[in-house]
């Protein structure tokens, strides 16, 4: 190798050097927390963060709640019964959160990581697909309908918001929960869509075991 080639190999590309200099992400395992205070905390974090603020990933469960995207049609909310309904500021239609579902909120400076919104959503989907593969589950994404699927059934939902180049909201991965509330809605706006979960497919039943296993996949696909 010539001296010039050796020097070039020793000097990292600007993008690689900038990424190497990023502060490490903060991983927070929040347990089971109410939906609305957590949503408002994400908004505050995004509004107050600066150029040097480390990214954060929040891993948690919610008590039962239906959430509607900013432009969601209430026609997809069929029979909520005693489960509260909250209209929020993410994209997408209606979904359900409840105990036994791993919810992941990546609070990421997308510009700093060089990610567009589509790239970000794809990274979240790829992390779940990689996790599922470790349990022998063949999962896929769909370009036309964000989320992760096993056959025709939906395993994980994705809905995000970006403000001031920072992301919030994120993904919901079904682990071992009561799927009945999904029958009270058209999940993600699709009539007749069937939901599935890891515990039905030979995967684990523990949300927190899944959180531990998903973290390295998230770091890899997001470039953290």
Catalytic residue among 188, 195, 198, 210: 188
Q: Pull the structure tokens for residue 104.
A: 């992941």
DSSP state of 11: S
Q: What is the DSSP string of 13-38?
A: PHHHHHHHTSPPPEEEEEEE--HHHH
Cα–Cα distance between 151 and 137 in angstroms, integer?
10
Angle at 36 between CA 31 and CA 41, to 5 degrees: 75
Angle at 49 between CA 44 and CA 54, to 5 degrees: 120
Whether 210 is a known active-site residue: answer: no
Q: Which helix (H) or strand (E) holds 104?
A: strand 101-107
Beta bridge partners of 140: 149
Give Dmax (Cα) for the chain. Answer: 73
Cα–Cα distance between 107 and 150 in angstroms, integer?
27
Catalytic residues: 188
């Amino acid at each position: 190798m010539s001296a010039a080639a050796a020097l070039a190999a020793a000097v990292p590309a600007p993008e690689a050097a900038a990424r190497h200099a990023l502060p490490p992400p903060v991983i927070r395992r929040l347990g089971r927390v109410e939906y609305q205070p957590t949503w408002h905390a994400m908004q505050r974090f995004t509004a107050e963060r600066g150029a040097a603020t480390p990214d954060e990933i929040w891993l948690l469960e919610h008590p039962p709640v239906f959430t509607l995207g900013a432009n969601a049609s209430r026609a997809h909310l069929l029979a909520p019964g005693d489960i509260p309904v909250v209209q929020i500021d993410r994209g997408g239609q209606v979904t359900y959160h409840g105990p036994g579902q791993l919810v992941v909120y990546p609070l990421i400076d997308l510009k700093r990581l060089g990610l567009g919104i589509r790239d970000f959503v794809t990274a979240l989907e790829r992390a779940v697909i990689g996790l599922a593969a470790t349990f022998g589950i063949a999962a896929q994404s769909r370009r036309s309908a964000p989320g992760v699927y096993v056959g025709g059934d939906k395993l994980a939902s994705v809905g995000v918001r970006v403000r001031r180049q920072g992301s919030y909201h994120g993904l919901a991965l079904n682990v071992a929960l009561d799927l009945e509330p999904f029958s009270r809605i058209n999940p993600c706006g699709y009539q007749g869509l069937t939901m599935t979960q890891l515990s039905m497919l030979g995967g684990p039943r523990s949300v927190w075991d899944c959180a531990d296993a998903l973290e390295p996949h998230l770091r890899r696909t997001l470039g953290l």
